[in-house]
Structure 1
Amino acid sequence: MVVPLLPDFPGILNTSPENTSWLVTITLLTSAIATPIISRLADMYGKRRMMVIAMITMVIGSVIAAAGGSLLTLLVGRAFQGLAASLIPVGISIMRDELPREKVASAVALMSATLGIGSALGLPLAGLIYQSFGWQAIFWVSAVVGVLLIIAVIMVVPESSLRTKGKFDAVGALLLTAALTSLLLAISKGGHWGWSSEPVILLFLGTAVLLAFWFPYELKVGQPMVDLRTSARKPVLLTNIASILVGFSMYANMLSTTQQLQLPNVGGYGFGLSIVIAGLCMVPSGLAMVALAPISALITKRYGAKITLIVGGLVLAVSYVARVFLTGEVWMVVLGATFVSMGTAIAYAAMPTLIMRSVPITETASANGLNSLLRAVGTSTMSAVVGVVLTSAVVHVGPLALPTEDAFKTVFWYAAIAALLSIAVAVFIPRVQTAPGMTPGTVSGIYAPDPRAVSSKPVTERAAKPATENEILVNGTVTGPHLRPIKQAVVNALHTNGEPADWSRADNEGRYSLILPDSGRYLLVSSADGWTPSSQVLEFADPTSWHDIHLAHRLMLSGRVSDGAVPLAGAMVTLTKTTGEFVMSTFSNDEGLYEVPLPPVGRYILTGLDPQVQTSTSLSVLLTARSATIDLCLPAAGKPPAVLSGNASVRP
């Protein structure tokens, strides 16, 4: 609602256009920062609670902006309003918790579409309110709507009982905040300050330094702000990369269409429409996003979220190519923008589903928050690209420098290329495998059992209840010998028919949490780097259960060192990487036996040394994630080195 007023704010506030551009930049910054933080807090302290807090900040910001009347108070108010952007991932997570499984896909698609209808209606509505009641009325309307929504959420939306226990990662949040601020400032202000200017270069360097500290810290802390290990899983990583590209692509439509329509008719490509009329031309785009919500949900249910994302990217690419050539009439521009919005609606509807199917249920809000953040990075980057392109190719009309038609076409080509790249990335997202007797399900990409094959209870009976009504919360710890916790262990819960239920990664104290959809028997499969996996079939009935998991056996590299047929006691055995790094060393016992914990999978050099006669041998070995026995036979003293060799017998 603020965007249409930007040309008038310099006169209203008696300041420069560059200063008023901060009214958009500050909201972008706070929304990007708040989204992952509030999403993580929602998983830990309650989703409805954080949703209400986010809307309270929007109301506070609206009141400050409306009552202040100065650039400073407007900036403060807009900063508070930006915190409300976290509503989207938190709201999607609430729907996963509360809705029947069969409704989640369509609900997620509809909520994603509300972004489009909100933007489309905000542009003309802002113009009407501004012309009729003044600019302050825009913020008062926002405050009133916020209050009404807070009341509605408190009355209607139940608070989820699911919590991720632990301590909030304040250090990780501060480092991420600083890195995002530096990155987004550089991207959003690079066009004004100059991409080669010292401030922009320093901001990019600062981002790199901060992320260099943040990544290893997040990998070390027990309960990180962002679970990088989960984010690095192929489905999550590729979905997030596709999200950046789709965000980059779709934002060209929002930034360029109203400018095209409002440009004066110079050279045969401008239309000279008013702010209100140009805003009204965007309404079909918003309505199309809402209309496409059930269709995108249908594609997801029938073919999977991966296909939905590919279809959305394809519609985006084709629509932008069409926009390059359809520029002669207003209806052509509106039609092209509408089809772009349709592609955006389809693609955006698929992303939360792809994310939720690949992360633990207790991390759905924070995972969707990271996905929303990366989309914001994409949109910010496109904003910078549009600014550069539209100001580099201009035609001068009196004192005005207006972008040329070719500048808009260049933006559309960039957007089409980004959409095609998102398709290329989406192709490699793994598809969920169907177990026997299973049909594609509708929640988080998980497959629901076919009632004829695996259940005596009809699906409609289970689906008629909210997801959390029968869910079982399972907590526990994963330990090794002497009850020492095993950090970063992974616990998978599966139905006995092969359907995945949930999974969890233990923290540094070995604690894990699972959310099981109903009481019954489950197969728990537990694993950790360097340990022999374990599996158990257990029955869970209580709403809250505790089950400790014990991994008894470490994966070991062992063997015998001998001189021919004679075992060598006290022989030194070393393991180094083929690239030269030292890994570990040990000595054989009186029987010539050695044993060391199995290192990570890879190729190594295993060396044996007899310290008495100084003979040695080395082997190149490939170690897998299984215990291995490798015997070393050292040469007898006095034999020429040229014929020396080692013998290895690898026994799993």
Structure 2
Amino acid sequence: MNDRPSRDHLMSTTTGRPSSDRALVGVIVSLGLLVAVVGSLGAPLITAVAQHYNVSLAAAQWTLTIALLSGAVTTPVLGRLGSGPRRRSVVLVTLGIVVAGSLLTVLPLPFAVLLVGRAAQGAGLGLVSLMMAIARDHLDERRSASTIAFLSVASTAGIGIGYPLAGWLTDLAGIRAAYGLGLVATAAALVAAVAVIPQAPARPANRVDLRGALLLTVGLLALLLVISQVGLWQQHTVLAVLILVVSLLVLAAWTIVEARTDKPLVDIRLLRHPAVAAANLVMLTGGVGMYLLLSLITRYVQTPAVAGYGFGLNTFEAGLVLVPFSLLGFVAGRLMPGLKSRFGARTLLAASTTVVLIAFVLFALARDHLAEPVIAISILGVGVGAFSAAMPSVILAATPAAETASAMSVNQVVRSVGFSIGSALGGFILAAYTTDVFPHETGYTTAAWAGAATTAATLLVIAALPAQRR
């Protein structure tokens, strides 16, 4: 790109100190990994939180839900703020909020304070898009592409690191130790960011569209809340439908407002680009399938054998099942930048989605032995890693450098919605097959084939993606 030398020059002149590309890449990827680890702390600790605070499992589930909701709401706001000249300050302030939230999760305070802390931690989920913008502005084109790809993988596959660590620390020293991991990691990340994150290139300051931010917050909160609460659909179906309709109407109103705003929170014109629109649709449907299979396998292997299936793994052991998911995801992500130059991002998206489809079919047909779900989740890791690494290329190819943070923040929100739908879909199907404590094993088969159908539909959407020049 013609402006790359000027951005490299800006990197060295605007920070006021020499900046090492290697150190910057390390901090960028580490922050993406940290976001995944801290965000995943809620899932393996739900039972332990319920016991420690003497609350119901439904209440303890909010330690995960509230972090995801917080991340979905703050991501587009941070994306817009991060597109301006004060991106470094936005990153540092956000990390400061995450550290403060991490401290609240460790202190022996009431359950409500724990939820506040988890909400503050969830704000860090919006940092991924800012890290992508930093890589695009301050690294050469080749290193920028590989860093963005690996960052996208780290922010997804990194949950395989958080799960077993949280389970092991909980079994060893209680939930405070597990949450303490988050405090230590976020504090270290803040120190590293202060030392390494550069100033943004000189650009006009971005005014945050408060009206758009409010509409998007209300719409996303209602949408993610209703699709993540399976019990609400089971017990209050009419209310759930009403909330869903209201959320969609609010989001439609937000779209109209943004299209008519001079300085919008999200540039709707970019989202209308065929490649960007199709890529976000791919992210939505692909996210549904990926998280559906991930949740199915982790739940299946923890089911005690008394149910007639399952392997009765504890939290730590179930976390270890996710390790190959993460490791193979990282490997696949590292390979994608080199393969993209040969095959193109669209071809790699199709190939990675096909790998996810294979994982679904394997889990649907074979899970009598522990090795079979482990193989399925390993294959899923390859697919998710490759998919996550290829996705940013499709969007950034049609996005100006100055709008990187904003465009990728929308993609991150779409991913959160897809993950939430996938989790809820699995819960719905398994609940329909539950007559006692545990669902009938047929429910897992039905859910797996439903996910396979969603993944196959994703392949059709990918086929509609415009071909990219290489």
TM-score interval, smaller chain: 0.7 to 0.9
Q: How do 1:460-475 residues align onto structure 2 when only pairs under 5 Å count?
A: none
Runs of 5+ consecutive residues of structure 2 not aligned to the other structure: 1-40
Alignment of 1:432 onto 2:468: yes
The 2-side partners of 1:408 and 1:50 are apart by 43
Residue 364 of structure 1 aligns with which residue?
404
Query: Which of 290, 305, 308 in structure 2 is aligned with 1:265?
Result: 305
Give a deviation string over 1:385-437, Cα, whole Å, max 9, x none.
Answer: 111111221253xxxx112222112222122222211111111111234xxxx
Residue 423 of structure 1 aligns with which residue?
459
Alignment of 1:215 onto 2:251: no
Contact 1:261 1:270 in 2 (8 A): yes
Contact 2:77 2:208 in 1 (8 A): no
Residue 35 of structure 2 aligns with which residue?
none
Residue 276 of structure 1 aligns with which residue?
316
- The two structures have a TM-score, normalised by structure 2, of 0.88
Secondary structure at 2:447 match in 1: helix
Q: Give the direction of change, closer, same or farther, for the CA distance of 1:162–1:327 in structure 2 (3 Å limit).
A: farther
Secondary structure at 2:107 match in 1: helix
Secondary structure at 2:438 match in 1: strand
The 2-side partners of 1:195 and 1:230 are apart by 40
Instruction: Between the two structures, name the one with larger relative contact order (CA 8 Å, sep ≥ 6).
Output: 2
Alignment of 1:340 onto 2:380: yes
Query: Which of 175, 182, 190 in structure 1 is aligned with 2:215?
Result: 175
Q: Displacement of 1:302 after TM fit?
A: 1.4
Contact 2:83 2:404 in 1 (8 A): yes
Query: Which of 427, 433, 443 in structure 2 is aligned with 1:407?
Result: 443
Residue 288 of structure 1 aligns with which residue?
328
Amino acid at match of 2:454: A
Contact 1:48 1:94 in 2 (8 A): no
Give a deviation string over 1:110-139, Cα, whole Å, max 9, x none.
Answer: 112213442111111111111222211222
Contact 1:245 1:418 in 2 (8 A): yes
The 2-side partners of 1:48 and 1:420 are apart by 41
Residue 8 of structure 2 aligns with which residue?
none
Alignment of 1:310 onto 2:346: no
Contact 1:68 1:74 in 2 (8 A): no
Alignment of 1:141 onto 2:181: yes
- The two structures have a TM-score, normalised by structure 1, of 0.64
Q: Displacement of 1:193 after TM fit?
A: 4.9
The 2-side partners of 1:284 and 1:210 are apart by 41
Amino acid at match of 2:468: V
The 2-side partners of 1:233 and 1:212 are apart by 18
Residue 99 of structure 1 aligns with which residue?
139
Amino acid at match of 1:188: S
Q: Give the direction of change, closer, same or farther, for the CA distance of 1:166–1:262 in structure 2 (3 Å limit).
A: closer
Alignment of 1:236 onto 2:269: no
Runs of 5+ consecutive residues of structure 1 not aligned to the other structure: 434-439, 441-652
Amino acid at match of 1:107: T
Give a deviation string over 1:16-51, Cα, whole Å, max 9, x none.
Answer: 222212111111111110111111110024333322
Residue 25 of structure 1 aligns with which residue?
65
Contact 2:346 2:468 in 1 (8 A): no
The 2-side partners of 1:255 and 1:166 are apart by 39
Secondary structure at 2:335 match in 1: helix
Alignment of 1:113 onto 2:153: yes
Q: Displacement of 1:205 after TM fit?
A: 2.9
Secondary structure at 2:162 match in 1: helix
Give a deviation string over 1:210-255, Cα, whole Å, max 9, x none.
Answer: 2243222111110111111210110000000000011111102321
Q: How do 1:446-457 residues align onto structure 2 when only pairs under 5 Å count?
A: none
The 2-side partners of 1:161 and 1:195 are apart by 52
Secondary structure at 1:321 match in 2: helix
Q: Displacement of 1:179 after TM fit?
A: 0.7
The 2-side partners of 1:4 and 1:364 are apart by 33
Q: How do 1:169-208 residues align onto structure 2 when only pairs under 5 Å count?
A: 169-194=209-234, 197-208=237-248
Give a deviation string over 1:254-309, Cα, whole Å, max 9, x none.
Answer: 21222111111146521112211111121111000111122222221212111111
Larger strand proportion, structure 1 or 2?
A: 1
Amino acid at match of 1:298: G
Alignment of 1:392 onto 2:432: yes
The 2-side partners of 1:331 and 1:189 are apart by 32
Which of 46-55 and 323-332 deviates more? 46-55
The 2-side partners of 1:309 and 1:174 are apart by 34
Alignment of 1:12 onto 2:52: yes
The 2-side partners of 1:240 and 1:10 are apart by 36
The 1-side partners of 2:137 and 2:446 are apart by 43
Which of 106-115 and 74-83 deviates more? 106-115
Amino acid at match of 2:369: E
The 2-side partners of 1:203 and 1:334 are apart by 38
Give a deviation string over 1:55-114, Cα, whole Å, max 9, x none.
Answer: 222111111121143220111111101100012111112111122111233222211221
Secondary structure at 1:6 match in 2: helix
The 1-side partners of 2:156 and 2:371 are apart by 19
Q: How do 1:146-157 residues align onto structure 2 when only pairs under 5 Å count?
A: 146-157=186-197
Contact 2:164 2:320 in 1 (8 A): yes
The 1-side partners of 2:290 and 2:270 are apart by 27
Alignment of 1:63 onto 2:63: no
Give a deviation string over 1:129-159, Cα, whole Å, max 9, x none.
Answer: 1122221122222111111111112212322
Give a deviation string over 1:346-390, Cα, whole Å, max 9, x none.
Answer: 111111111111112111100000001001111111111111111
Residue 245 of structure 1 aligns with which residue?
285
Contact 1:317 1:419 in 2 (8 A): yes
The 2-side partners of 1:158 and 1:191 are apart by 46
Give a deviation string over 1:526-569, Cα, whole Å, max 9, x none.
Answer: xxxxxxxxxxxxxxxxxxxxxxxxxxxxxxxxxxxxxxxxxxxx
The 1-side partners of 2:358 and 2:270 are apart by 33
Amino acid at match of 1:406: T
Q: Give the direction of change, closer, same or farther, for the CA distance of 1:207–1:117 in structure 2 (3 Å limit).
A: closer
Residue 131 of structure 1 aligns with which residue?
171
Residue 543 of structure 1 aligns with which residue?
none
Larger helix proportion, structure 1 or 2?
A: 2
Q: Give the direction of change, closer, same or farther, for the CA distance of 1:315–1:286 in structure 2 (3 Å limit).
A: same
Q: Give the direction of change, closer, same or farther, for the CA distance of 1:209–1:112 in structure 2 (3 Å limit).
A: closer
Contact 1:239 1:351 in 2 (8 A): yes
Query: Which of 356, 380, 390 in structure 2 is aligned with 1:350?
Result: 390
Amino acid at match of 1:402: F
Larger radius of gyration: 1
Give a deviation string over 1:449-500, Cα, whole Å, max 9, x none.
Answer: xxxxxxxxxxxxxxxxxxxxxxxxxxxxxxxxxxxxxxxxxxxxxxxxxxxx
Contact 2:333 2:389 in 1 (8 A): yes
The 2-side partners of 1:211 and 1:280 are apart by 39
Amino acid at match of 2:178: I
The 1-side partners of 2:79 and 2:373 are apart by 37
Secondary structure at 1:43 match in 2: coil
